Amino acid sequence: MFEPWKLKDFDVGGGLAAGAAQGGDDGGWIDTTVPGDTHLALQRAGRIGDPFLGRNEAAAAWIEGREWWWRTRFEAALPAAGERVELLFEGLDTFASIYLNGRLLGATDNMFRAWRFEVGALLRAAGGNELAICFAPATASVAHQPQLLWPMAAEKIAASRRNLMRKAQFGWGWDWGPNLPTVGVWQPVRIERHQQARIAALRFATVALGTGHAELRIDLALEHLADAKDLQATIRLFDPNRVLLVEQTVAIEREASLTLKIADPQLWWTADLGAQPLYQLEAELHQGPQPLDSAQRTVGIRTLTLDTSDDPAEPGSQFFRFVLNGVPLFARGACWIPASSFVAEVAESRYRALLEDAVRANMNMMRVWGGGIYEADAFYAHCDRLGLLVWQDFMFACAPYPQSDTAFVDNVRQEVTQQVRRLRHHACLALWCGNNESQVIQHLINSMGGGQTALEGRLYYDEIIPAVLANEDAVTPYWPGSPWGGSNPNSMKSGDVHDWMVWHGFPPVPDQTFVGELDRSPEGVAYTRYAEDSGRFISEFGIHGAPAMQTLRRWMDADDLKLGSEGFLDRIKDHPKDKVNGMLIPVTGLPQTLEQYIDYTMLVQAEGLKFGIEHFRRRKPHCAGALIWQFNDCWPCISWSLVDYDGVAKASYHATARAFSPLLASFKVVGEQAELWITNDRLRVVSGTAEIAVLRFAGGQDWQVLLPYSLPANSSQRVWRGRVPQGALDRVLCVRDLGSAFPENRHLLAPVKDLQLAPGAAPQMTVTQQGPHELEVVLQASSYLLMVQLESPVPGSQFSDNHFDLRPGVARHVTIRNSASPLSPQHLSVRCWNQQLP
């Protein structure tokens, strides 16, 4: 019904004077889409180069300082008697003045809210309507607000003033993100017509599970548009096969609640623990026979609580563990950042591909990080469908936020209410969390300066959000921040932990009081220090790894494809840009070429995360979660991500997938003492026979043990103890299950750079075409191979496993799929670490 949208930029204040609100001729206006993004529209029109390509990021900086107008025309019938016509904007980014037929309709100042305006009286009977939206530059729009700064990152926050506005906080750059703040109509626009009343909210919750039944609660709230009488609501619940289970019609004035008891409910589980049956809920509002409004929700039946009771085995500590349908679970997952800097145009297929990657990596939880956006509906729908729990931050990150400005407070309250109403019914929703790192940074500042300054913004996490949740969603657990809990916000005894000892060099003191000293020495940031972490739930820990060369080639200027070039350093947003060196020195040594940089950082990221995950999982049930920083990227860069911007999985992705296997065998080695642990996240006893061996790289073995094991459901236990040669350069401690119940694992007895692997040795590869889009590969070796890596130049190729070690005599099967493009055996190459040895 809307004609194609167009946009144009003006000097600040110039659009109105130039008649932009009035329609008129289209000279200088370029096409855009709604929802859409200004940068991408400019790129499509040839006005700018792709901001992610080469050095283009800086060249796009002018966009931020301009005034942007978006406009369209539409035909709409005049309101019938008693009818209300509204324009609904699901999201405007951010400081928008909206004009309809030349008249100011209203102004907006929060990207995270939907806005409704009654427009019946302004509509034109004939000749169509002109809708124009003026976006003022964001930073300038809050220039009159008093600055709110911390000693940390003060300059950056002062320049963008991001904390004074309700807009995605990562837009002005983050330690993984470019400076490309967005602007535009980033969510759909609709015209809605209603008589009498409309459905304002429809809510669903599983209240309790009994033996053979579930107790559900459904709440409906109306907004009255007239003095509406004799309203009824019909509520229907369909089971996962679309069979009608419940149909009830109730009289409703403003609110109605139903409590239902369902026999034999099909429970929703995470991907590792069961199925994801989804029910359909429908509500229809009517007045006698006349339908007025309807709403639908896809829901799952499950209970989800957060257990913070005392942990009797670790006195002075409390659990922090999610309990799904009565079962305490270990959360295996990662933190999610926006899937593009240009959040308006993330395709549904991109959400699907990334979230399916997460589930294939044995993840059961994703944390939507507070510096990005409340994600698109498609994100949560896929998480429901895939069995991936969501830890949902509210959108505040690493900053103080104004709390004495009543307009700002009310703006946040509206935002929180709307977002809770939008997301609370999702089966995947596990936690509401106040913000990212604001409490912990305030705590660090206080302990460094000896002060006791209260956090600006605590009002939201301690009062405003809890009050909204008490009304809108008292069922989903709430946590005031990440990290939070205990005697300090990053306590290892209570609540969640961000472990940045490894990588950033934050001090490891279990109940840390930060004294201002970072230890970035190789010993200080060594990934083996994850073993010192006794936290209850590690909601962030991570290490940089470069993306694949093919990704860098696609996005960087050819001249910049070398270590230390300006274009290369532009892709590293963390400071100092050589921070990774401390981690590389003891493991691989420093790289001399870009190729080595990619291999070395990929290896260290993979080994480090494996080490951390295994430690955290062995600590089950005292530790009940490991969420890696970070799952994805918002642009092609060098970051902590497991999957790069082009969707290519790094070595760390595959290492993580193995370490997150629901049944895991892992070694804990201290000096000559070795232990084998089995961690069983399944809800049943698991038995089998493990083969433990010390293999010689050149072939043969020192010894081998066959160990029958049987692990109780949902447990982690040491199953073996033995001795290993400390620092051995020519052998490796290995374990595999004779029935392949857990992934092969190994412990290197010395740093990779010192290992005496057979130089030049390469795998033998047999490739079979299984269909146009699938290849089956068998790999074999005659001596021990480190980091065997299959490569395909075809974008979107998925490897069932990759970047693994190959033992002599044990064949490895890998499946490669590409749903978009056909694959052929010639596309495939293989290499390994041994081949680059002198």
Under 8 Å between Cβ of 48 and 78: no
Closest to 635 measured CA to CA, from 687, 573, 684: 573
**In the complex, what is the shortest distance from the CB of residue 334 to ligand BMA, in angstroms, rounded to a whole number?**
12
Binding map of ligand BMA across residues 353-372, x = CB under 6 A, - = no contact: ------------------x-
Name 415's Cβ contacts closer than 8 Å, sequence gap at least 6: 110, 112, 113, 166, 395
Residue with tokens 């289970």: 245
Contacting residue, 89, 95, 172, 176, with ligand BMA by CB under 6 A: 176
Per CB under 6 A, the list member of 317, 392, 436, 745 interacting with ligand BMA is 436
Which one, 85 or 433, has the nearer CB to ligand BMA? Answer: 433
* Choices 172-180, 191-199, 559-567, 717-725 (CB under 6 A): range interacting with ligand BMA: 172-180
* Contact status, residue 208 vs residue 215, Cβ threshold 8 Å: yes
CB of 180 to ligand BMA, least distance (A): 16
Calpha distance 592→233 (Å, rounded): 70
Element holding 522 (H helix, E strand): helix 522-525
Contacts 24+ apart (CB under 8 A), 578-584: 579/503, 579/504, 579/520, 579/544, 580/544, 580/604, 582/505, 582/520, 582/521, 582/522, 582/524, 582/525, 583/502, 583/503, 583/522, 583/525, 583/526, 583/527, 583/543, 583/608
In DSSP terms, which residues pair with 497 in a beta bridge?
Answer: 538
Q: Tell me which stretch binds ligand BMA (CB under 6 A): 68-76, 171-179, 655-663, 784-792.
A: 171-179
Q: Least distance to ligand BMA from the beta carbon of 337, Å?
A: 8
Instruction: Let me know if 437 is a catalytic residue.
Output: yes
Residues 397-426 that bind ligand BMA (CB under 6 A): 397-398
Candidates 772, 761, 750; CA nearest to 825 is 772
* Closest CB to ligand BMA among residues 41, 643: 643
Nearest Cα neighbor of 631 from 652, 607, 614, 616 is: 652
Residue type, 601: T
Q: What are phi and psi of 568, to 5 degrees?
A: -70, -45
Is residue 318 within 8 A of residue 309, CB to CB? The reply is yes
Q: Which is nearer to ligand BMA, 109 or 437 (CB)?
A: 437
Alpha helices per DSSP H over 649-775 = 651-659
Task: Output 496 or 540, the one with its CB closest to ligand BMA.
Answer: 540
Q: How far is the CB of 573 from ligand BMA (least distance, A)?
A: 9
Nearer to ligand BMA, 170 or 319 (CB): 170
User: Which residues, including other chains, have CB under 8 Å from residue 348's CB and lie 6 or more apart?
Assistant: 376, 378
Give dist(CA 504, CA 574) in Å, integer.
10
Nearer to ligand BMA, 214 or 626 (CB): 626
Q: Which residues pair with 204 in a beta bridge?
A: 218
> In angstroms, what is the minimal distance from the CB of 338 to ligand BMA?
12
H or E element that contains 613:
helix 594-618
Instruction: Indicate which residue of 67, 86, 90, 437 is catalytic.
Output: 437
Is the Cα torsion angle 372, 373, 377, 383 positive or negative in sign?
positive
Nearer to ligand BMA, 579 or 696 (CB): 579
Six token digits for residue 99: 């004009």
If one asks whether residue 540 binds ligand BMA (CB under 6 A), the answer comes out as: yes
Report whether 132 contacts 69 (CB < 8 A): yes
| Shortest distance in whole angstroms from residue 525 CB to ligand BMA | 13
Nearer to ligand BMA, 379 or 629 (CB): 629
Q: How far is the CB of 308 from ligand BMA (least distance, A)?
A: 22
Binding span for ligand BMA by CB under 6 A among 173-181, 588-596, 662-670, 737-745: 173-181
Q: Residues 437, 499, 533, 801: which binds ligand BMA (CB under 6 A)?
A: 437
Of 175 and 646, the one with the shorter C-beta distance to ligand BMA is 175
Residue number, 174 or 479, with CB nearest to ligand BMA: 174
Q: Which is nearer to ligand BMA, 86 or 499 (CB)?
A: 499
Question: Is 357 or 540 the residue whose CB approaches ligand BMA more closely?
Answer: 540
Contact window for ligand BMA (CB under 6 A) among 88-96, 174-182, 696-704, 721-729: 174-182
Site mask for ligand BMA (CB under 6 A), range 317-356, x = bound:
----------------------------------------
DSSP one-letter code for 555: H
How many residues does the structure list for the chain?
A: 838
- Are residues 680 and 713 in contact, defined by beta-carbon separation less than 8 angstroms? yes
Using the rule CB under 6 A, give the single segment among 8-16, 169-177, 727-735, 785-793 that binds ligand BMA. 169-177
Using the rule CB under 6 A, is 789 a contact of ligand BMA?
no
172 in contact with ligand BMA (CB under 6 A): no
What is the C-alpha separation between 273 and 758, in angstroms, rounded? 42
Question: Residues near 681 by Cβ (< 8 Å), separated by ≥ 6?
Answer: 272, 273, 329, 330, 332, 620, 662, 663, 714
**Closest CB to ligand BMA among residues 373, 786:** 373
Our separate counts of H helices and E strands in the chain read: 17, 43
674 DSSP β-pair partners: 669, 722
Binding residues with ligand BMA: total (CB under 6 A): 10
Burial class (CB in 10 A: 0-12, 13-18, 19+), 264: exposed
Nearest to 642 by CA among 361, 272, 340: 361
DSSP single-letter state for residue 528? G
Among 69, 174, 479, 537, binds ligand BMA (CB under 6 A): 174
Question: At residue 64, what are phi and psi to the nearest 5 degrees?
Answer: -60, -30
Of 33, 122, 152, 175, the residue at the interface with ligand BMA (CB under 6 A) is 175
| Among positions 380, 629, 635, 677, the unique one binding ligand BMA when judged by CB under 6 A | 629
Q: E strand or H helix at 235, and its extent? A: strand 231-238
Residues 147, 503: Cα–Cα separation, whole Å:
31
Site string for ligand BMA, 583-622 (x = CB under 6 A): ----------------------------------------
In 239-382 the beta strands, taken as DSSP E runs, fall at 244-252, 255-263, 279-287, 290-299, 304-307, 321-324, 327-329, 331-336, 365-368
Residues with catalytic function: 437
Q: Which residues bind ligand BMA (CB under 6 A)?
A: 174-176, 371, 397-398, 436-437, 540, 629
